[in-house]
């Protein structure tokens, strides 16, 4: 065993002293650090190249701000565990702003705690906050990331030679269906004969099935793939190994396969979280229902990779600029789903902000797959 | 599995009582020493990664047992573990290693959710009873089937119960995303919320739901069943030597299926409590790994239902401290799993220590 360095010694003794100081405090009068203490809770590992990493990158940006203390916990299940993690952050760390980031944390867990801690603000990612149902100290935020998948689709439409693109998806829920449909519709702006094969794995994080699904897509001749699972790493690495082009999701996965990576739809939580924290620091209140897209800086695109052609680059940039102007619609009538039902009549459009898109239950014509 | 049926040699007065106490104390003392050894080894591990074990254990104490909130945290986490550990401990008395309690938990939860959904408008107590019965039947049938396959077809129960847990989770996903799905549950497919009258509340003063009370009662009842009834005695005989038990005319088949089904029914109740007291509906959050932590607890408790209570509290306390350890020491969340692993291994290794210390074998004292 090596002798502890001075730094380690200081760290250890200060922790012991800190723990002792906290131990003497009553549980409900936790020692408050100067300024604002903010808690982030993730359902998976912070370095999953995906959903949780995107949030953790946002938390890291908040950590760098003045006058805030950030506490984090990863791999917290959507059970009584998350309730206790939140309470622990409130009681032991004095957290007054919480970001429990997984969709499943809201109902019933945040809803169970919010009335007990009226001075704590609970900000939840993905939910549909409504004034008549939910406590005032809770709020929901989300981004129009379907637009990012639409841009992914444009890059994919130019890259595909087999005219078959693929999507590895977790569950057939509205947020996922919107991404699948947007991906195909983006590709169809390049060539209307393109089809998109979707495979649902059934779980948010199930590496073996994600690899199997990716291989199955490759076997069927699919040559560009994207996904919507918690951690896209397995899909990206498997697809690159099979020589397919990749469109990323959640975070930037280009380090996994720089030559094959076209672009990716990424969350920009750093911008969103620092904005919310600034609002709280200046004495303001975060609105209870927050949404935003590319223009508002809620999402961003990975830099275009070397495999993106000039024609693709041109169309990508033009569409990107058009989306930045706002009110962009991916679903424009007349349009049918892949069972032949009309989903939009002639002249009918669903712009990105349309709340109807958040309860989507169909796959558009051209997507090969089923929602049930 | 050693069936503890050695006849006591006659002795006199105080030495008989002392001998009795010492024999009883053997598993407790050996397990405690093994656990302390595990904690000490984990301390070395922490030193190796440059963290202070003293701070670590202080944080574990503080977050798991140091205050009223810590106890609430620990007790809430222990509630489902008591029942899921029994699903391992009961079949273990017959020499069966059943590790698929997770399947019974999720199916129990789904059955409870479905019962709540399809039987609305009943008085609260009856609705809750219906959910409990549905959950117990679902869980009992699932693990009982493992026992039946073992007895009639010789299928290895360890493998089949594990594989059936995967099937159960797939079945749960199918049901809550398909036939039983509440259309209003958009991004988190769930069964329809059960009505308020069917919800189970908190126990007085403890800040945790009644699943804990049910778990403690079940542990005591199972201890009585195993240690104080002829059924339990027959099960221990069959666990010691199946052939001998059959020759003696014991109903081994009924014992195997009965004990596995009972274990499954209890795990099913754990799922029902998650639905009725925590989630309010059945969904994929039911597969939270309680069934697997239950395996650890049952083995640490040496399949003694009474010992499951303190062991479950201890492991729940470890898990309750996981968050604070992450936040204060900047250690990954797997740290507490490593700690559990160390304790698990030292306690399993301590099996070899049984019978080696004359202290615990009073009948051998004077033979020397």
Q: Rounded to a whole number, what is the distance in Å from the CA of A164 to chain B's nearest CA?
A: 28
Q: Which residue of B327, B329, B335 is the best one to mutate when testing the A interface, meaning the one whose CB has the most A CBs within 10 A?
A: B327
Cα separation, B318 vs B336, in Å, equals: 7
Is A8 near chain B, with CB under 8 Å?
A: yes
Cα separation, B277 vs B199, in Å, equals: 6
**Which letter does DSSP use for residue A124 in this model?**
E
Residue-wise pLDDT tens digits, A112-165: 999 999 999 999 998 889 899 999 999 999 999 999 999 999 999 999 999 999
State residue A333's pLDDT score. Answer: 87
Per the CB < 8 Å rule, is A172 touching B187?
no
State residue A128's pLDDT score. Answer: 84
Distances (CA, A) of A281 to A139, A206, A274: 17, 40, 10
From A175, which residue of chain B is nearest by alpha-carbon distance?
B187
Cβ-based neighbours of B84, under 8 Å, separated by 6 or more:
B101, B102, B105, B267, B270, B290, B291, B293, B294, B297
pTM of the model: 0.86
Is B181 near chain A, with CB under 8 Å?
A: no
From A74, which residue of chain B is nearest by alpha-carbon distance?
B333
State residue B1's pLDDT score. Answer: 44
Cα separation, B2 vs A49, in Å, equals: 49
Residue-wise pLDDT tens digits, A318-361: 999 999 998 999 999 899 999 999 999 999 999 999 989 988 99
Contacts of B54 in chain A (CB under 8 A): 16
Contacts of A1 in chain B (CB under 8 A): 47-48
Residue-wise pLDDT tens digits, A262-312: 999 999 999 999 999 999 999 999 999 999 999 999 999 999 999 999 999
From A15, which residue of chain B is nearest by alpha-carbon distance?
B55
Contacts of A88 in chain B (CB under 8 A): 63, 69, 73, 320, 323-324
Is B167 near chain A, with CB under 8 Å?
A: no
Query: Residue B186: phi, psi to the nearest 5?
Result: -70, -70
Number of A–B residue contacts, CB under 8 Å = 117
Q: Rounded to a whole number, what is the distance in Å from the CA of B367 to chain A's nearest CA?
A: 48
Contacts of A372 in chain B (CB under 8 A): 177-178
From B187, which residue of chain A is nearest by alpha-carbon distance?
A173
Q: Which of A8, A77, A358 sits opposite B288 (nearest CB)?
A: A77
Q: Which of A1, A19, A173 sits opposite B189 (nearest CB)?
A: A173
Residues 228-257, chain B, touching A (beta carbon < 8 A): none
Cα separation, B112 vs B272, in Å, equals: 5
Contacts of A371 in chain B (CB under 8 A): none
Residue-wise pLDDT tens digits, B207-248: 889 999 999 999 999 999 999 999 999 999 999 898 899 998
Query: Residue B51: phi, psi to the nearest 5?
Result: -115, 155
What is the end-to-end Cα distance of chain B in Å, rounded?
A: 28
Q: Which of B77, B189, B289 sits opposite A171 (nearest CB)?
A: B189
Per the CB < 8 Å rule, is A73 touching B326?
yes
Q: Rounded to a whole number, what is the distance in Å from the CA of A101 to chain B's nearest CA?
A: 14
State residue B18's pLDDT score. Answer: 81
State residue B20's pLDDT score. Answer: 81
Residues 37-76, chain B, touching A (beta carbon < 8 A): 47-48, 50-52, 54-55, 58-59, 62-63, 66-70, 72-73, 76
Per the CB < 8 Å rule, is A15 touching B320?
no
Q: What percent of chain A has pLDDT over 90?
A: 85
Residues 164-223, chain A, touching B (beta carbon < 8 A): 171-175, 202-203
Cα separation, B65 vs B228, in Å, equals: 33
Per the CB < 8 Å rule, is B173 touching A202?
yes
Contacts of B69 in chain A (CB under 8 A): 27-28, 87-88, 91
A315, A263 contact by CB (below 8 A): no
Contacts of A12 in chain B (CB under 8 A): 51-52, 55
Cα separation, A174 vs A361, in Å, equals: 6
State residue A7's pLDDT score. Answer: 52
Contacts of A77 in chain B (CB under 8 A): 285, 288-289
Q: Rounded to a whole number, what is the distance in Å from the CA of A172 to chain B's nearest CA?
A: 9
Per the CB < 8 Å rule, is B327 touching A71?
yes
Q: Rounded to a whole number, what is the distance in Å from the CA of A129 to chain B's nearest CA?
A: 13
The rounded radius of gyration (Å) of the Cα atoms in chain B is 22
Q: Which of B67, B187, B329 sits opposite A27 (nearest CB)?
A: B67
Per the CB < 8 Å rule, is A91 touching B189?
no
For residue A98, which of A47, A58, A40 has the smallest C-alpha distance?
A40
Residue A247: pLDDT over 50: yes
Coil vs helix vs strand at A338: coil
Contacts of A28 in chain B (CB under 8 A): 69
Per the CB < 8 Å rule, is B288 touching A79?
yes
State residue B24's pLDDT score. Answer: 82
Per the CB < 8 Å rule, is A173 touching B187?
yes
Cα separation, B144 vs B259, in Å, equals: 8
Task: Please enumerate, as own/partner, the contacts of A162-165 that have beta carbons within 8 Å and a separation of 24 or more.
Answer: A162/A221, A162/A222, A162/A223, A163/A191, A163/A193, A163/A194, A163/A195, A164/A194, A164/A195, A164/A196, A164/A197, A164/A220, A164/A221, A164/A222, A164/A223, A165/A194, A165/A195, A165/A196, A165/A197, A165/A222, A165/A223, A165/A224, A165/A225, A165/A226
Residues 52-111, chain A, touching B (beta carbon < 8 A): 71-81, 83-85, 87-89, 91-93, 103-104, 107-108
Q: Which residues of chain B have pLDDT under 50?
A: 1-8, 11
Q: Which residue shows structure tokens 């702003």? A: A97
Contacts of A358 in chain B (CB under 8 A): 186
State residue A69's pLDDT score. Answer: 95
Is B274 near chain A, with CB under 8 Å?
A: yes
Per the CB < 8 Å rule, is B327 touching A372?
no
State residue B352's pLDDT score. Answer: 87
Is B224 near chain A, with CB under 8 Å?
A: no
Residue A18: pLDDT over 50: no
**Which letter does DSSP use for residue B8 in this model?**
P
Cα separation, A97 vs A192, in Å, equals: 47
Is A370 near chain B, with CB under 8 Å?
A: no
Contacts of A71 in chain B (CB under 8 A): 327
Contacts of A92 in chain B (CB under 8 A): 62-63, 324, 327
Q: Which of A15, A73, A103 sits opposite B55 (nearest CB)?
A: A15
Contacts of A172 in chain B (CB under 8 A): 177
Residue-wise pLDDT tens digits, B105-130: 999 999 999 999 999 999 999 999 99
């Amino acid at each position: 065993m090596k002798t502890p360095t001075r730094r380690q010694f200081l760290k250890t003794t200060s922790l012991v002293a800190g723990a002792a100081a906290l131990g003497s405090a009553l549980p409900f009068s936790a020692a408050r650090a100067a300024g604002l203490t903010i808690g982030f809770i993730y359902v998976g590992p912070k370095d999953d190249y995906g959903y949780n990493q995107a949030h953790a990158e946002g938390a890291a940006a908040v950590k760098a701000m003045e006058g805030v203390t950030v506490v984090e916990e990863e791999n917290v299940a959507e059970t009584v565990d998350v309730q206790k993690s939140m309470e622990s952050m409130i009681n032991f760390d004095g957290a007054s702003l919480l970001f429990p980031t997984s969709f499943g944390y809201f109902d019933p867990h945040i809803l169970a705690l919010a009335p007990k801690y009226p001075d704590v603000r609970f900000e939840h990612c993905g939910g549909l906050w409504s004034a008549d149902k939910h406590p005032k100290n809770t709020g929901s935020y989300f981004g129009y990331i379907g637009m990012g998948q639409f841009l992914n689709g444009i890059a994919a439409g130019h890259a595909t030679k087999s005219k078959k693109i693929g999507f590895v998806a977790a569950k057939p829920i509205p947020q996922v269906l919107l991404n699948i449909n947007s991906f195909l519709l983006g590709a169809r702006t390049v060539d209307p004969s393109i089809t998109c094969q979707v495979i649902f794995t059934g779980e948010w994080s199930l590496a073996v099935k994600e690899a199997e699904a990716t291989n199955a897509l490759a076997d069927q001749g699919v040559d560009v793939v994207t996904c919507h699972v918690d951690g896209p790493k397995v899909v990206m690495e498997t697809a690159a190994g099979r020589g397919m082009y990749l469109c990323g999701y959640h975070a930037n996965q280009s380090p996994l396969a720089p030559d094959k990576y076209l672009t990716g739809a990424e969350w920009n939580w750093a911008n969103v979280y620092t904005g919310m924290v600034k609002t709280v620091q200046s004495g303001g209140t975060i609105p209870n229902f927050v949404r935003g897209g590319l223009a508002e800086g809620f999402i961003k695109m990975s830099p275009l990779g070397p495999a993106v052609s000039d024609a693709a680059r041109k169309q990508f940039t033009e569409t990107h600029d058009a989306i930045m102007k706002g009110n962009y619609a991916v679903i424009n009538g007349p349009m049918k789903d892949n069972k032949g039902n009309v989903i939009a009549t002639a002249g009918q459009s669903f712009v990105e902000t349309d709340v109807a898109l958040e309860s989507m239950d169909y796959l558009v014509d051209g997507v090969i797959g089923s929602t049930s | 599995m050693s069936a503890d049926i050695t006849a006591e040699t006659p002795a006199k007065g105080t030495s008989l009582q002392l001998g009795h106490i010492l024999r009883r104390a053997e598993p407790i003392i050996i397990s405690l020493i093994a656990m302390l050894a595990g904690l000490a080894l984990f301390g070395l591990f922490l030193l190796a990664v440059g963290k202070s074990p003293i701070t670590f254990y202080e944080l574990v104490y503080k977050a798991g047992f140091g205050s009223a909130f810590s106890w609430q945290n620990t007790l809430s986490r222990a509630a489902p573990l008591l029942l899921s550990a029994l699903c391992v401990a009961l079949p273990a008395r017959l020499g069966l290693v059943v590790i698929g309690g997770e399947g019974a938990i999720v199916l129990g939860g789904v059955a409870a959710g479905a019962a709540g959904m399809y039987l609305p408008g009943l008085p609260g107590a009856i609705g809750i009873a219906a959910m409990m019965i549905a959950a117990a039947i679902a869980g009992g049938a699932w693990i009982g089937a493992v026992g039946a396959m073992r007895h009639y077809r010789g299928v290895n129960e360890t493998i089949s119960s594990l594989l059936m847990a995967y099937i159960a989770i797939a079945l749960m996903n199918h049901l809550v995303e398909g036939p039983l799905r509440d259309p209003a549950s958009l991004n988190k497919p769930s069964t329809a919320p059960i009505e308020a009258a069917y919800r189970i509340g908190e126990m007085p003063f403890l800040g945790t739901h009644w699943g804990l009370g049910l778990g403690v009662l079940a542990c005591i009842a199972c201890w009585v069943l195993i240690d104080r009834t002829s059924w339990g005695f027959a099960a221990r005989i069959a666990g010691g030597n199946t052939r001998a038990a059959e020759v003696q005319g014991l109903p081994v088949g009924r014992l195997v299926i009965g004990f596995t089904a009972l274990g499954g029914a209890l795990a099913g109740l754990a799922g029902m409590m998650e639905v009725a007291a925590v989630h309010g509906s059945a969904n994929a959050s039911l597969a939270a790994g309680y069934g697997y932590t239950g395996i650890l607890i049952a083995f640490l408790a040496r399949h003694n239902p009474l010992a499951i209570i303190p062991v479950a509290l201890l492991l729940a306390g470890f898990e309750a401290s996981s968050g604070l350890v992450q936040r204060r020491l900047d250690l990954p969340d797997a740290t507490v799993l490593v700690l559990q692993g160390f304790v698990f291994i030292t306690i399993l290794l301590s099996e070899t220590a049984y019978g080696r210390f004359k202290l615990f074998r009073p009948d051998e004292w004077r033979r020397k």
